[in-house]
Structure 1
Amino acid sequence: MGVYGAVLEPEAEDFLADIAGGDARSALNAIELGIMTTLPGEDGKIHINLEVAQECIQKRAVRYDKTGDNHYDTISAFIKSMRGSDPDAAVYYLARMLYAGESVTFIARRIMVCAAEDVGVADPQALSVAVSASLAAERTGMPEAQIILSEAVVYVACAPKSNACVNAIGEAMRAVGETGNLPIPAHLQDAHYKGAAKLGHGAGYLYAHDYPNHYVKQQYLPYELSGREFYKPSGNGYEVKIKEHMKWLKEQ
């Protein structure tokens, strides 16, 4: 607490110890909330007195019931605001979760999922930002973690959106479920073990880096799925370039 210039007064300490009932995390969360919501006094320090401690416990209990509808409604609004490209709403719901003492790990996990599910390759950096924020937030802890999470939330909310990767894996999973383990083309099969050559494994494989532009046409999908497209890039963000590049490859 000394790092934040905060002082926990004896009466507040006794109250939190009693109300927490041995749950150190609950007491620490209340103290963190007090640090975040209490202005420094004339001496420049944040004083967590009995009144502040009682207020923090009440706020945690009243504003956020983790087993009730409000808990899930807030999470839902948070995710949908990031998906809907509204950074203001996303940060607001982030603040509501933090104010109520929601787990930093839980929040960071939702940001990472949103980055992959709703941004995808439209901005490949979004997932990296989310993962980095998760690691940084867990290592620093509150209250600094709120700044780190805010940065990730704003980035993901403002990023161009695409669910092409979600659709791709969904269609691929359905294809596997419908067709089972179709034979892998022989030229793609492992040819490093003894006897593989006699089975024709690896025969005729074309090494892409030996050809112009590091590309050569070759059958990669099982022959029964030849021509099937799972990944269909959107017209947003970086996927515009991907779409153009994939079109160029098909024309070669």
Structure 2
Amino acid sequence: MQAALHVIYPPQCISCGAPVTTDFGLCGPCWRQTPFVSGLVCDLCGTPLPGEDPGAVVHCDDCLTIARPWNQGRAALLYKDNARQLVLSLKHGDRLDLARPAAVWMTKVATPLLSPGTLVAPVPLHWWRLAVRRYNQSALLSKGVARLAGMEHCPDLLKRRRATPSQEGRTRDERFANLSGALTLHPRHVGRVKDRPVLLVDDVMTSGATLAAAAEACVAAGASRVSVVVLARVAKDA
């Protein structure tokens, strides 16, 4: 049946539409233009670092100066070139099909962070923004990661107390101030977090302010540890 469908609907590159050999794949040129994160990375935010693996935990300059309320973090892509286009297509272009391959990439880098009983949850949108956009791209990603990792998924673990203004154009300090106290656990899920690990999922990490607010809410509710995974990380050299 799959072979027959491929004859009628041959697989296409998820980025440019060129013919490819497998569903939800990238063609050669698009793959080369998509900066996947590999090698030595910051253990807290997933930013690629120069040099060889020293056999010990290493952190980037930002994570050495900013207190991160989570234990570990990873990113599948750098937010530039074709990766940026894929993220924007998922977030604003109604390309919900991109969540499937993106979840595969994210699960690959997040697997070392997972432990038995991990609860997977997305960074939430405010209800008004969700109504306008019609979907939360982070929830689509977290659902895929949870399914692939065989972990429990809670799409509404967190909620936004207020509609925060856009982070675009704000300084690092302004980003953190904008998100301060904006996220909280949904009252009906408070008991699900206590004494268990949580993996928070988002599409992009820039300063880390949004993930910090989400992680703080989980820690306050008694999570044993909090890890984060994002589809793309904005790096200083991006």
What's the TM-score bracket when you normalise by the shorter of the two chains? Answer: under 0.3
Please identify which structure carries the higher helix content. 1
Structure with more relative contact order (C-alpha pairs < 8 Å, separation 6 or more):
2
- Select the structure of larger CA radius of gyration: 1
TM-score by length of 2: 0.24
Please identify which structure carries the higher strand content. 2
TM-score by length of 1: 0.23
